Amino acid sequence: MLSHFHRFFWDGNEQLIWINSGGKQAYIPNKNLKFDLLLNTMSNQTIEYLPILIQFLVALGFVATTMVATHYLGPRRKSKIKLDVFECGIEAQGNARIPFSIKYFLVAILFVLFDVEVIFMYPWAVNFKELGVQGLLEMLFFMALLLIGFFYIMKKGALKWE
Amino acid sequence: MKEILKSSEGTTVVQSPPGYEGPGFFATSLDKAVGLARKNSIWPLPFATSCCGIEFMATMASTYDFARFGAERLSFSPRQADLLMVMGTIAKKMGPVLRQVYEQMAEPRWVLSVGACASSGGIFDSYSVLQGIDHIIPVDVYVPGCPPRPEQILDGILNIQKLIHSESLRRRNSPEYKALLSSYGME
């Protein structure tokens, strides 16, 4: 963040004093009255967040400009075949919006659960020696908790496909 | 702008287009700026049906490194692709599929025909093989060879880049282009 290294002070008269990381002072002459009025009304605390606001505006402006520009720059051709469903060049058959079995959803959610468990094991494996026995016990406890859950869903029959 | 486009090794990767340069600014025509951007960010759709496809895999791999021309990302959906790379024998039964893939690509789109089979039917002078994909879709650049070496495929890509770079922004709405498409029975 800019405020960690640079400070802006308003000396109340004509100049904005800018102290950079080296402790050197620089004077920004008063040229733009509107900007000065804006700074005058803001406290020092608020001014420190000004770069963030500017960055936010730039980000927003970039997205808006790009989206509008592509609509004007890119050529467009809307034929029936172009707007058709893409099915690897073969004519689409039937409707894609058909009911799917809820089991897909269940299996997917369970996959995410155990996937996250494995992701947690990576940093533990990297720092295995540093974490020592305590780390091992904590990891075993964590895995045991999830294993209990795993046996629970098995008993509930969530993994039975038929 | 020329300084910005220099790579870390200090060699110029992309030449800035001709334009007006001054301290702190660079001005050029929109055509040239868009052409430069499009040329160096091709998203190819590899339509590989036979041995030219194997050569294409070599082109993508580290030795020939297709990605250094800005075509890092292959698109397997025509929706996001700029360049259709047809590599291999296209049987007559495959023709409508290829045609639909081409038609479902977003404008502006280019076609590179790689190898003898895609360009002319090659050795398959047969009842079942399409004698060149330009019977069904317009082709921009042909790469000869049976199969062509990766260098030749890269040469074809560089020629496609030249076409993209010099294309006018109005070309895709011009009557000539519409006439070209309608000669292939496309809208």
User: Could you report the predicted ipTM of this complex, rounded to two decimals?
Assistant: 0.71
Q: What is the reported pLDDT for A41?
A: 60
Q: How far is B9 from chain A (nearest CA, A)?
A: 30
Written as tens digits, the pLDDT of chain A (162 aa) is 444 445 555 555 555 555 555 656 665 555 555 565 566 666 667 778 889 999 999 999 999 999 998 888 788 888 888 888 887 778 888 887 888 788 888 888 888 988 888 898 899 999 989 988 999 999 999 999 989 988 998 898 877 877
Q: Which two tokens stand for residue B43?
A: 């998203």
Which band of pLDDT confidence, cut at 50, 70 and 90, is reported for residue B31? confident
- The share of chain B scoring above pLDDT 70, in percent, equals 93
Interface of A with B in 44-73 (CB under 8 A): 73
Q: What distance in Å separates the CA atoms of residue B34 and residue B107, rounded to the nearest whole number?
A: 14
Alpha carbon distance B76, A88 (integer Å): 9
Q: Flag whether pLDDT at B89 surpasses 70.
A: yes
Residue A54 to chain B, least CA–CA distance (Å): 21
Distance CA B152, CA B68 (A): 16
pLDDT at B139: 94
Per-residue confidence (pLDDT) for residue A30, from 0 to 100: 54
Taking contacts as CB-CB distances below 8 angstroms, the residues of chain A near B169 are 73, 75
Q: Once rounded to an integer, what is the mean pLDDT over residues B96-106?
A: 91
> Among B112, B140, B115, which residue's Cα sits nearest to residue B44?
B112
Q: How high is the pLDDT of residue A4?
A: 47
State residue A33's pLDDT score.
54
Residue A122: other Cβ atoms inside 10 A: 9
Whether residue B4 has pLDDT greater than 80: no
What does the pLDDT average to over B130-134?
Answer: 92
pLDDT of A1: 41
Q: Report the predicted TM-score, pTM, of the whole model to 2 decimal places.
A: 0.67
Nearest to B29 by CA among B173, B157, B165: B165
Element (H, E) at A71: helix A50-73
- A chain contacts of residue B172, beta-carbon cutoff 8 Å: 75, 77
Q: Percent of chain B, pLDDT > 90? A: 57
Bridge partners (DSSP) of residue B20 are B27
Cβ proximity of B112 and B143 under 8 Å: yes
Question: HSE-up of B176 (CA within 13 Å, CB side)?
Answer: 3
Mutate: best of B103, B170, B184, partner A, most A CBs <10 A: B103
Q: Do B97 and A76 touch (CB under 8 A)?
A: no
Establish if A138 touches chain B: CB-CB under 8 angstroms.
no
Q: Stretch B18-31: mean pLDDT, rounded? A: 87
Residue B93 pLDDT level (bands cut at 50, 70, 90):
very high
Coil vs helix vs strand at A92: coil
Query: What integer pLDDT is reported at residue B99 of this predicted model?
Result: 92
* pLDDT at B169 exceeding the cut of 80: yes
Quick check: A88 and B97 CB within 8 A?
Answer: yes
Residue B176 pLDDT exceeds 60: yes
Identify which of A75, A76, A89 has the shortest CB distance to residue B101.
A89
Predicted confidence at residue A69, as pLDDT, reads 87
